[in-house]
Amino acid sequence: MVDRSDWESRMGDKWAREWRQTDLSFSQLTPYLLTRITEHSFTSALDIGCGAGELALAVAETNPQAGVTGLDISASLIEVARERAHLQHSQPTFIKGDAAHWQPEDSFAPDLLFSRHGVMFFDDPPAAFAHLSEIAAPDARLVFSCFRALEANPFFTEIAALLPPADGAAAAPNAPGPFAFADKDYVRSILEAGDWSDIQFEAFDYPAIAGRGENAVDDAVAYFTSIGPAARALSQMEQSEREQICEEIRRIAAANLTGGKVSLQAAVWIVTARNGR
C-alpha cells in the first residue's frame, strides 16, 4: 500500500527528481485529459495532487484570466512545480497541502477541480471528496483520471510478473494506491457520499512511454526501477536478485521498443462529476 508518508518523503522526492520521465509516461494521456478538463469555461481551478505541475500549467495556459492553484503533499514536487511556473512565466499558485483537509484562503472557491492520477491515495476518500465539495463553488465540475483494473494495464503487469509475491496479507482491494479507484461502482459510491452528482466514466487507453530516443531502453529500465512499478520491490532485494530482474526488465523494454519509444499499454477512467451542494 502507498500512503501519505511515502509521498511526503522518499516517493515524492524520487518523483520530483524524475518529473521529466513522469511527464513522458503520461504524454499520450495528458492532451486528451486536458481537453476534457477545459471543455467548459471556468474562473478558478484546483489541481488535486498536482505533482510537478505539468497539468496545472497547461490548464492555466488555456485560460490566462482564471486563477489556478496546484496542491500536493510533497514539498519536493511543489518546489519543482514552482520553478517550472517561474521559468514559463506562468501564473498558477502551487501550495504544499493535503486536499482532504486544505482550507483555501480568502474567497477562493474553485468552479473546476481536476487531477491526473492524484486522487487515489486518500486515507478516507468519502470524507476527502465531501471536503472538496464543501470548498468548491456550487455546481463546480470535477474531472480526474485514475487507473482501471490492474489486468488491463500491461505497463504494470508485465513488470509485476517478474517480481516475487509480496510478503504478508494482501492489501484491501480499495486500499490507497495506484489501483484504488479501479472499480467504478466503488468510485461512484464515494463520490455520491461526498455530495457529487452527474457522475460519468469514460474508458481511455493509451501507450504509457517509459523511454524515448537513442537510449530508450536504458531510460525505460531506469524508469521501471526508480519510480515505476518494480521500484519498491527492487529496493528490498539482494544485489544478485536485483541484477537478474533488471536484466528481465531490459528484455521487456527491448521487446516493446518501436519507433524509438518503449511503451506499454495503460488503461484509465476519465471520471467527471458536478458538485451537488
Beta strands at 257-258 and 261-275: parallel, antiparallel or unpaired: antiparallel
- The answer to whether 20 and 192 are in contact (CB under 8 A) is no
Q: Is the pLDDT reported for residue 168 higher than 80?
A: no
- CA 130, 4, 204, 27 dihedral sign is positive
Name residue, grid cell 495506484. 178
Q: Is the pLDDT reported for residue 1 higher than 50?
A: no
Compute the half-sphere exposure of residue 141: CA atoms within 13 Å on the CB side of its CA.
Answer: 18
pLDDT of residue 10: 67
d(CA 256, CA 75) in angstroms, rounded, equals 34
Residues of the chain with pLDDT > 90, as a percent, come to 78
- The answer to whether 207 and 27 are in contact (CB under 8 A) is no
Average pLDDT, the chain: 92
pLDDT tens track for 258-277: 999 999 999 999 999 999 87
pLDDT tens track for 232-257: 788 888 889 989 999 999 999 999 99
d(CA 19, CA 21) in angstroms, rounded, equals 5
Q: Which residues pair with 259 in a beta bridge?
A: none
Minimum mean pLDDT range among 33-37, 73-77, 223-227: 223-227
* Contacts within 8 Å (CB) and 24+ apart, 126-130: 126/189, 126/190, 126/193, 126/194, 127/100, 127/194, 128/99, 128/100, 128/194, 129/190, 129/191, 129/193, 129/194, 129/195, 129/196, 130/193, 130/194, 130/195
Q: How far is CA 189 from CA 35, 142, 147, in A?
A: 26, 15, 17
pLDDT of residue 236: 84
Nearest to 72 by CA among 32, 19, 33: 19
> How would you classify residue 262: left for phi > 0, otherwise alpha for psi between -120 and 50, otherwise beta?
beta
Terminal-to-terminal C-alpha distance of the chain? 32
Nearest to 253 by CA among 230, 207, 221: 221
d(CA 21, CA 74) in angstroms, rounded, equals 17
Range 4-275 classified under CATH 3.40.50.620: no
pLDDT tens track for 66-120: 999 999 999 999 999 999 999 998 889 999 999 999 999 878 999 999 999 999 9
pTM for this predicted structure = 0.93
Q: Where are the domains of the chain?
A: 4-275
